Structure 1
């Protein structure tokens, strides 16, 4: 009997694994959009490295795709004098981002939009930052090539763009990786 109980518990545990292993944001809650990427904030040393690798400076317009609580946009505005736009589909993250910008005194230089990345225009960006997932990065790649001007810098936390667009530079920050690219004329031709 104890062996049979153990087997039933093991079977029940196996049935629950797909639910337990799924990020809470992967299942849409009533009134909230379904998220393709779970919210995991970028730690500040990685934020700093991303902005350094993107060579952010005053006059830049930084777009953070999947901006979460806005920390990358806010830091770019506060530390480098850039302006910025954060885009995220989650209204809770957008509210947090706006509050963070207000608290840090940069609300006049940044804005946050609740929107679907694949339906968004980020053609005004001189810098784009990402912390998404590999399949989302690869799906976004043609849109980045089409929309962004030659010379725009793109930086991603932890995930690259696949074999079709190898990074120009890769740096480690602890156990994290940051990738950097620049939009070139050949990307514009490939996207046309």
Structure 2
């Protein structure tokens, strides 16, 4: 009787353990599902601003080609929107003899770094870096505009370019186009890092079609 009683206890204990393990599986799955749901971003439309654009340095080979596409020369005033560490404005005056170059950057640390880089390059007298949101910047002095932003930001910026820039102003974008404002030129640049980059170039027209004055594609 004693041995039979022990066997019964072992059988009952094993059954309880099996039920406990089986009961844990759905809870673990539910926890995983909750974790996945929590990590997934909500499906909402976000309006992009300059603050949403991460700083990704443009390779020097791409910088050079952007300025060549814009045909930068003496007398030009270059505005670089989202200027990061300042390499485009600095190169514009240092190698392409631009009269003046202005970098617009919202990150104060990058503005500080840009000013230090300009000082080291000996071009602080012709290069200026402003800590501003590019959507609040007055662009009317520019006759060349360069940018490396995001598709949504480009589209939001497009009406401002048409409103403030003079006809004949050249615009060059790294990586992203301007929706149905078709570029005059599109070029591929292979950098020393082995990657290939796409550049787009436009000229502000005398008469802007109504459909391009909207930020929509």
Fold shared by both chains (TM-score > 0.5): yes
Q: How many residues align?
A: 178
Alpha-carbon RMSD across the aligned residues, in angstroms, is 2.4
Give the aligned partner of residue 87 of structure 1.
Answer: 104
Preserved contact between residue 170 and residue 180 of structure 1 (Cα < 8 Å) = yes
Please list, as runs of the form range in 1=range in 2, the aligned pairs for 1:57-96 lying within 5 A after superposition: 57-82=73-98, 83-96=100-113
Change (3 A) 1:11 1:156: same
TM-score under structure 1 normalisation?
0.83
Aligned equivalent of 2:63, options 47, 52, 67: 47
Distance in 1 (CA, whole Å) between partners of 2:90 and 2:209 is 29
CA distance in 2 between partners of 1:157 and 1:75 (Å): 16
Gaps of 5+ in 2: 1-20, 42-47, 191-195
In 2: Cα distance, 1:17 partner to 1:70 partner? 35
Aligned twin of 1:151: 168
1:70-91 per-residue CA deviation (whole Å, 9 max, x = no partner) reads 1000011110111100001111
Larger Rg: 2
Which of 153, 159, 162 lines up with 1:136 in the alignment?
153
- In structure 1, what is the Cα distance between the partners aligned to 2:66 and 2:82? 15
| Structure 1 unmatched ranges of 5 or more | 19-25, 27-32
**Runs of 4+, deviation exceeding 3 Å:** 1-11, 188-191
- When the two structures are superposed, what TM-score results if normalisation uses the length of structure 2? 0.74
Q: Look up the match of 2:7.
A: none
1:121-177: CA deviation from partner (whole Å, max 9, x where unpaired)? 0111110000001111111111111111111100000001101x1111000113211
